Amino acid sequence: MYLLPDENFVYSEKGCCEKLNSYQKLSKLGLPVLKSAVIPYQEWNQISEEMEDKIRKHLKSSYCMIRYIYTSSCHNIKNGGKIVPVSADSLLAEAEPQTDLWLLEPSDRRNNLYCCNISMNRILENLHIEFVGEGFDISDLNKGKISPHEQMDISYPIEYGLYLEWWKRAKFSFCLQEEYKQSIVLRKERWKEFQTLCDITFPETFHPVDFRFLEKIIGYVDRVEESWGQEKPDFYNISCSCEKSGRIICWDIQTPSGKKRAYFQ
């Protein structure tokens, strides 16, 4: 078992390793990530009360959110995000064959204020950000279930200008009210996938993203950009969430090569 983040930990370069290794990278850069634990599938039969207690103390919770790290390429993956008790019985009931369990601090989607995908296209010198609003989840975008509620495009590197009015150079677009209403219907349908009752009341309209949150995530992009060194990928995407409490969560970084390795190689 591994307790993360840990700057000395390096996951194997196979399967869905990009999720975990990019999570480690984000942590090293000082970006906010959840505490987590990884239980390799070879250790499933070793889950003891002592191990359960270590996980609970590390996550500061008796519950965890499950993600899956497939150790070999797979195109038929099980969706992560379900919150379950930290116990051998509960974890093994959710396990996938020969797949490492990645247990994170619980984060209830119903507490999300905003979620976003931050996409860098170096060839086009463009930073594209897609947002969904209160009560939605970043997987809604990643799985192609709904369209963004808000989008922003700006040339990168950003030209801030003398008065730091970078936003004057950005292009913003918003979904129609009918599209927003339909996305709520789809979001509620997704709750059923997790066998969870949807007891959340969504806002009647989408509220544009707070300017302070925008500036914060752009600052995250700057840090990631500085970290690449000479081998900068032409394209990558960072997934983030902002909870109603103000807590921001950076989930991982996705690249075309990492996706190809996860699904096809």
Rounded to an integer, the average pLDDT of 110-132 is 96
Q: Three-class SS of residue 90?
A: helix
Cα separation, 141 vs 57, whole angstroms: 32
| Nearest alpha-carbon partner for 236 in 221, 214, 219, 246 | 221
3-state secondary structure of 44: helix
Give the whole-number percent of the chain exceeding pLDDT 70. Answer: 94
List the one residue out of 86, 11, 102, 91 whose CA is nearest residue 45. Answer: 91
The overall average pLDDT reported for the chain is 91
User: What 8-state DSSP symbol labels residue 252?
Assistant: E
The rounded percent of the chain whose pLDDT value lies above 90 is 71
Confidence (pLDDT) at 139: 85
pLDDT for 150 beyond 60:
yes
pLDDT in tens, 58-81: 999 999 999 999 887 777 778 888
Cα 126 to chain centroid distance, Å, stands at: 21
Higher pLDDT, residue 198 or 180: 180
Q: What is the pLDDT of residues 15-61, one digit of tens each?
A: 678 999 999 999 999 999 999 999 999 999 999 999 999 999 999 99
Instruction: Give the ranges where the chain is alpha helix by DSSP (H).
Output: 17-28, 49-59, 88-94, 138-142, 177-193, 211-227, 256-263
